[in-house]
Amino acid sequence: MNTRTIAILAALTAATFITGAGIADAGNASKGGTTYISLDGFCDVVQITVFPWHQAGEYDDSCGVVSPVVGSGMWGNVTGVSPKDLTIAETNSADPKATYLWNIQYPLKTGNTYSIYQSYDGVNFSYYTSGTYSITDKAAMHSHRAGPPIHRALRRK
């Protein structure tokens, strides 16, 4: 199976997870459910849905993005290393040859960090950016926010 096929399957899986997920407010960010995080310095508000069976889905159609970006992955931790993280592979239809790998500190809470890596072969990943995020709400996802979209910033590198 090639990288593009795997990325498309991951995106479809994430869309399925997100469609079936219940909505939780920001107060439940550490307990699973759906949480909205604002990427500090970017206009993106990313919807993260965490499931009790250690899987997670990600969805971003904020910043006036023409087509949504979706991803899926898992949460967990390495023995002796803290904190846990969400590792989510993402497909962006504006950059279909690439796979993006997000590592997001978990449980989700304001001030935690994320990092993003990119691969064109599904094996070798290059670091692109990292930062902090803030917990927000669903209304922020479609409101006008300052800063560039994270995906546009990634394609420039």
Q: Is the model more confident about 80 or about 7?
A: 80
* Tens digits of residue pLDDT in 122-144: 899 999 889 999 999 988 887 77
Per-residue confidence (pLDDT) for residue 38, from 0 to 100: 93
- Average pLDDT for 87-111: 88
- Please count the structural domains in the chain: 1
Q: How far is CA 18 from CA 70, 73, 74, 121, in A?
A: 9, 12, 14, 26
Does the pTM of the predicted model rise above 0.85? no
Q: How far is CA 99 from CA 32, 85, 137, 141, 145, in A?
A: 25, 19, 27, 23, 26
Per-residue confidence (pLDDT) for residue 120, from 0 to 100: 92
* Tens digits of residue pLDDT in 39-79: 999 988 999 999 988 899 999 887 876 667 889 998 877 66
Q: How far is CA 66 from CA 61, 63, 144, 149, in A?
A: 8, 9, 15, 12
157/150 Cα distance (integer angstroms): 11
Full residue range of the structural domain in which residue 40 is found: 3-156
* Tens digits of residue pLDDT in 10-37: 444 444 444 444 333 344 444 569 999 9
Per-residue confidence (pLDDT) for residue 78, from 0 to 100: 62
